[in-house]
């Protein structure tokens, strides 16, 4: 199967800054070809972006709130159109309307009939200045937060230090362990959401991300990367147990792994965003050494503990239960 295109949902209550974030992503997307689904074109400066070649394909849902679209096929048709190989889209961003229930939209993406698309995670925006009072009137927001893979605490310019801490504590209480990034005007690093080429998870790409972590002070202060390398294969059951119970704060994991299974000695590319997990089977190049190279990215990661846990998942003698490989193959 060809590489799949991640579909990232951007959700958040009315006015939390979804469109602002989307515009920021689109104007800072480097070489990534982004397809966008929005509820209405009005708020995204689509003409300017199209002229500047900053958006590659854009479709709009006609009838307002996308989680109320009785016929989920409308969204699915759009995903299908954006995923056409001829569109050469790398990533699709769906801006959910302010009142949309993210869980309904997630379900629609997961149920997509297009095998070229896959769910790529939920980015939930929180209006730092309004969150507490909005929660009073819309307690369902607490539930939305639990589905988030990344919380963006926006409008930090409207908060003093104390207020910021209060909102952060509230978010942590509602979505324990979920990575949170604080920003103003949606200015998050697009590299947190998509690679320049998602199908190209080469080591060079991962290292350049690490470089980014080192050089971008703002990002560095919020995010960290942990690199794990080993020549040994993984025990599939133990690796899956690790991935099922990911360290708190982990947002992304990507890289290559291999197993000692007699029929599955391929090079598996692993890609995890939030709760999403996929493996792709590939080939080792002639003479290429079998090696596991994983990069884990998140907030507040305990590097020593993660390294220890991953080391414990290795299978140096190659005698892991061969049946356990099916737990991995289910995600291929």
Ligand X SMILES: Nc1nc2c(ncn2[C@@H]2O[C@H](COP(=O)(O)OP(=O)(O)OP(=O)(O)O)[C@@H](O)[C@H]2O)c(=O)[nH]1
Residues that bind ligand X (CB under 6 A): 12, 14-20, 43, 98, 154-155, 157-158, 184-186
Do 224 and 296 touch, CB atoms closer than 8 A?
A: no
- Give the residue with the Cβ less far from ligand X, 19 or 57: 19
Kind plus residue range of the DSSP H or E element containing 34 = strand 34-38
As measured in angstroms, the least distance from the Cβ of 128 to ligand X is 8
- Give the residue with the Cβ less far from ligand X, 46 or 272: 46
DSSP 259: B
CA distances from 263 to 126, 223, 259, 260, 311 (A): 47, 38, 10, 9, 23
> 153 forms bridges with which residues in the sheet?
126, 182
As measured in angstroms, the least distance from the Cβ of 265 to ligand X is 48
- Give the residue with the Cβ less far from ligand X, 123 or 174: 123
Strand locations in 231-275 (E): 250-257, 267-273
Do 32 and 91 touch, CB atoms closer than 8 A?
A: yes
As measured in angstroms, the least distance from the Cβ of 32 to ligand X is 21
Q: Return d(Cα 213, Cα 31) in angstroms, integer.
A: 19
- Give the residue with the Cβ less far from ligand X, 143 or 281: 143
As measured in angstroms, the least distance from the Cβ of 225 to ligand X is 26
- Give the residue with the Cβ less far from ligand X, 17 or 120: 17
**Residue 23 corresponds to which tokens in the numbers above?**
């515009």
As measured in angstroms, the least distance from the Cβ of 160 to ligand X is 14
**For the chain, how are helix, strand and coil distributed in percent, rounded to 5?**
35, 25, 40
- Give the residue with the Cβ less far from ligand X, 80 or 98: 98
As measured in angstroms, the least distance from the Cβ of 194 to ligand X is 19
């Amino acid at each position: 199967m060809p590489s799949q295109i991640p579909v990232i949902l951007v959700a958040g209550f009315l006015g939390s800054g979804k469109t602002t974030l989307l515009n920021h992503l689109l104007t800072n997307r480097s070489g990534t070809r982004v397809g966008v689904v929005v509820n209405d074109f009005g708020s995204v400066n689509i003409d300017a972006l199209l002229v500047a070649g900053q958006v590659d394909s854009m479709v709009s849902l006609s009838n307002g709130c996308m989680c109320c679209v009785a016929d989920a096929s409308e969204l699915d048709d759009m995903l299908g159109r954006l995923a056409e190989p001829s569109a050469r889209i790398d990533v699709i961003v769906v801006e959910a309307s302010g009142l949309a229930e993210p869980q309904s939209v997630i379900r629609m993406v997961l149920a997509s009939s297009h095998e070229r698309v896959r769910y790529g995670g939920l980015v939930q925006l929180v209006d730092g200045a309004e969150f507490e009072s909005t929660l009073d009137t819309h307690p369902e927001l607490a539930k939305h937060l639990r589905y988030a893979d990344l919380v963006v605490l926006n409008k930090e310019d409207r908060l003093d230090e104390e207020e910021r801490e209060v909102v952060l504590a509230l978010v942590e209480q509602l979505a324990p362990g979920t990575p949170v990034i604080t920003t103003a005007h949606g200015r998050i690093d697009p590299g947190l959401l998509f690679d320049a080429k998602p199908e190209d998870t080469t080591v060079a790409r991962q290292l350049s991300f690490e470089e980014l972590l080192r050089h971008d002070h703002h990002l560095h202060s919020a995010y960290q990367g942990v690199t794990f390398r080993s020549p040994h294969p993984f025990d599939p059951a133990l690796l899956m147990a690790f991935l099922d119970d990911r360290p708190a704060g982990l947002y992304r994991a990507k890289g290559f792994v291999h197993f000692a299974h007699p029929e599955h000695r391929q090079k598996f590319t692993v890609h995890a965003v939030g709760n999403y997990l996929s493996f792709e089977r590939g080939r080792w190049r002639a003479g290429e050494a079998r090696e596991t190279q994983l990069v884990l990215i998140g907030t507040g990661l305990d590097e020593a503990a993660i390294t220890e846990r991953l080391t414990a998942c290795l299978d140096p003698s190659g005698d892991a239960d061969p049946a356990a490989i099916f737990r991995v193959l289910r995600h291929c």
